[in-house]
C-alpha cells in the first residue's frame, strides 16, 4: 500500500478547474431539484385539493412519473452525449429540468403535476452521468479520483439545501422557482466550459457513437454494464427504502418518538457528501477503485445490520445511524467513475448516464418486493428489509468481485 501523498498545488488547481466545478454545481442543482417533490409532496397536493388518501396514492403516481422520466432520460441523454457531445447534454438537460421546475410552481392540477415531474425527471437524468464523463476525460488519469470526490461531495449537499430552502421559504411554489432559477444561473457558468479533447478526436473519425444496443451485442460488454449497476445497489437500498420508510422502521424498532423520514434523508445525504469526498481520496491512497468501494460497502453493511437488529433506541441515535449509512454509500461518484473508465469513448456517456439512472430506478423493483415481504407474518417490516438488503449486498459484492480494476486506466480508446 502506497502512503497517501497530497497532490501538489498545481494538481489541485487542475482538479478544481472550471469543468469540475461546473459539474459539481450541476450535480448540486440536480440533487436539489430531484428531491423537491419528495419534500413538498404533502403540502403541494393538499393545496391542490386532495385528501389524505389521495395524497398518498397520487403522490406515488407522480413519483413514478418522475422515475420513468429518469429511466428514459438516462438512455436518451447518454446516447446524445456520445453522438453530439458531453456539453450538449449538460446544456440540454439543465434547460429541460429548470423550465420544468419553474412550471411546477404554477401547476394547478395533479395530472399536469405528474407530467411536469416526468419532464423534470427526463432532464435530470442527463446531469450526473454527463458531468462524470466529462470530468473523467479532461482530468489526468492520476487525478480522476479527486475530481469525482469534488463533484459528489459538493453535489450531494444539494439535498441539504433543498430541505433548508423548503423550511425557510414555507412556500412550496417558491421552492420550485428557486430550483429552476438555480439551474438557469448555472447555465451561464457552462458557457465557458470546453468539450472533452478525447471526444473531439473521436468526432473526427468514422467510429459509430452512442449505440445503446451495443451493450447487448457482446456478452462481456453486457456483463460489464450490469456489474457497474450491481455495485451501486446498496446506495438506493439505503436511500430509497430505509430512509424513505424510516417512520415505519422507527415503529417496528419500538422507538417512542416520531421518526421523520425527511430528516433521515437529510442525514443520509450529509453522510454521503462526506463519504464521497473520502472514497475518492481513499481510492487514490489505495490506488484502487475496487478496494475503496469494497471497504465502503462493508462499512455500510455493518451499520445496516446495527440498524435492523435494533441497536438504536431513540430518534436521535437513529438519525446518527442514517448519517453513518450515508457515509458508507458515499461512493456514488466512484461507481460512476468506474463505469466511465470501463467503456470506450464512443460508448462512455451512454454507459455512465444510463447506469446512473438505472440504479436510481432499482427502487421500482426493491420497493414492491419490500411491500410484499413485509405482509408475511414471519418477516414483518424488519425481516422484509433484511431480506431485500441481503439480496442487494450479495449482488453488489459479486459484481465488484467480477469487475476489472480501472484505477489509472487510459481512456483514449473505442469499443
List the chain pLDDT tens, one digit each, 415 residues: 455 555 544 677 778 888 888 888 888 998 898 888 878 888 899 899 988 778 877 887 888 899 889 999 999 999 998 998 888 888 889 899 999 999 999 999 999 999 999 999 999 998 888 888 888 888 888 888 888 888 888 888 888 888 888 888 889 999 999 999 999 998 887 777 777 778 788 778 878 888 899 999 999 999 999 999 999 999 989 988 898 888 889 999 999 888 888 788 889 988 998 998 899 889 989 999 999 999 999 999 999 999 999 888 899 999 999 999 999 999 988 899 999 999 999 999 999 999 988 998 888 888 889 889 988 989 988 999 999 999 999 999 999 999 999 998 988 888 8
Domains of the chain: 18-195+218-402 (1.20.1250.20)
Q: How far apart are CA 41 and CA 63, in angstroms?
A: 9
Over its C-alpha atoms, the chain yields an Rg (Å, rounded) of 20
Is the C-alpha dihedral spanning 305, 306, 307, 311 positive or negative?
A: positive
**Nearest to residue 215, comparing CAs of 207, 233, 199, 227?**
227
Question: Which residues are within 8 A (CB) of 286 and not within 5 positions of it... i.e. 6 or more apart?
Answer: 1, 292
Amino acid at each position: 500500500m502506497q502512503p497517501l501523498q497530497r497532490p501538489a498545488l498545481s494538481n489541485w488547481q487542475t482538479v478544481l478547474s472550471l469543468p469540475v466545478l461546473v459539474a459539481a454545481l450541476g450535480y448540486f442543482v440536480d440533487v436539489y431539484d430531484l428531491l423537491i417533490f419528495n419534500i413538498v409532496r404533502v403540502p403541494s397536493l393538499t393545496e391542490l385539493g386532495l385528501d389524505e388518501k389521495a395524497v398518498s396514492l397520487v403522490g406515488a403516481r407522480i413519483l413514478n412519473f418522475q422515475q420513468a422520466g429518469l429511466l428514459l432520460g438516462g438512455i436518451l441523454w447518454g446516447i446524445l452525449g456520445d453522438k453530439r457531445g458531453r456539453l450538449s447534454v449538460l446544456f440540454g438537460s439543465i434547460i429541460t429540468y429548470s423550465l420544468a421546475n419553474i412550471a411546477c410552481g404554477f401547476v394547478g392540477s395533479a395530472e399536469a403535476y405528474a407530467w411536469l415531474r416526468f419532464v423534470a425527471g427526463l432532464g435530470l437524468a442527463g446531469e450526473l452521468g454527463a458531468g462524470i464523463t466529462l470530468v473523467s476525460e479532461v482530468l489526468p488519469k492520476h487525478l480522476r479520483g479527486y475530481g469525482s470526490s469534488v463533484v459528489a461531495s459538493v453535489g450531494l449537499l444539494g439535498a441539504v439545501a433543498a430541505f433548508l430552502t423548503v423550511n425557510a421559504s414555507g412556500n412550496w411554489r417558491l421552492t420550485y422557482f428557486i430550483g429552476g432559477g438555480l439551474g438557469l444561473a448555472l447555465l451561464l457558468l457552462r458557457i465557458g466550459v470546453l468539450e472533452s479533447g478525447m471526444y473531439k478526436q473521436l468526432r473526427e473519425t468514422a467510429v459509430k457513437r452512442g449505440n445503446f444496443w451495443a451493450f447487448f451485442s457482446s456478452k462481456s460488454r453486457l456483463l460489464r454494464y450490469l456489474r457497474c449497476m450491481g455495485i451501486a445497489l446498496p446506495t438506493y437500498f439505503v436511500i430509497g427504502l430505509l430512509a424513505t420508510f424510516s417512520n415505519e422502521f422507527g415503529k417496528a424498532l419500538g422507538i417512542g418518538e416520531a421518526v421523520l423520514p425527511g430528516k433521515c434523508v437529510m442525514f443520509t445525504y450529509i453522510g454521503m457528501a462526506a463519504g464521497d469526498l473520502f472514497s475518492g481520496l481513499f481510492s487514490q491512497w489505495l490506488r484502487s477503485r475496487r478496494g475503496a468501494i469494497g471497504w465502503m460497502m462493508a462499512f455500510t453493511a455493518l451499520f445496516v445490520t446495527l440498524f435492523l437488529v435494533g441497536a438504536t433506541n431513540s430518534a436521535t441515535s437513529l438519525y446518527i445511524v442514517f448519517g453513518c449509512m450515508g457515509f458508507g454509500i458515499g461512493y456514488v461518484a466512484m461507481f460512476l467513475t468506474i463505469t466511465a473508465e470501463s467503456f470506450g469513448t464512443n460508448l462512455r456517456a451512454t454507459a455512465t448516464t444510463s447506469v446512473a439512472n438505472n440504479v436510481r430506478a432499482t427502487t421500482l423493483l426493491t420497493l414492491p418486493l419490500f411491500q410484499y415481504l413485509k405482509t408475511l407474518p414471519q418477516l414483518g417490516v424488519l425481516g422484509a428489509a433484511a431480506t431485500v438488503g441481503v439480496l442487494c449486498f450479495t449482488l453488489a459484492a459479486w459484481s465488484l468481485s467480477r469487475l476489472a480494476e480501472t484505477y489509472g486506466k487510459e481512456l483514449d480508446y473505442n469499443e
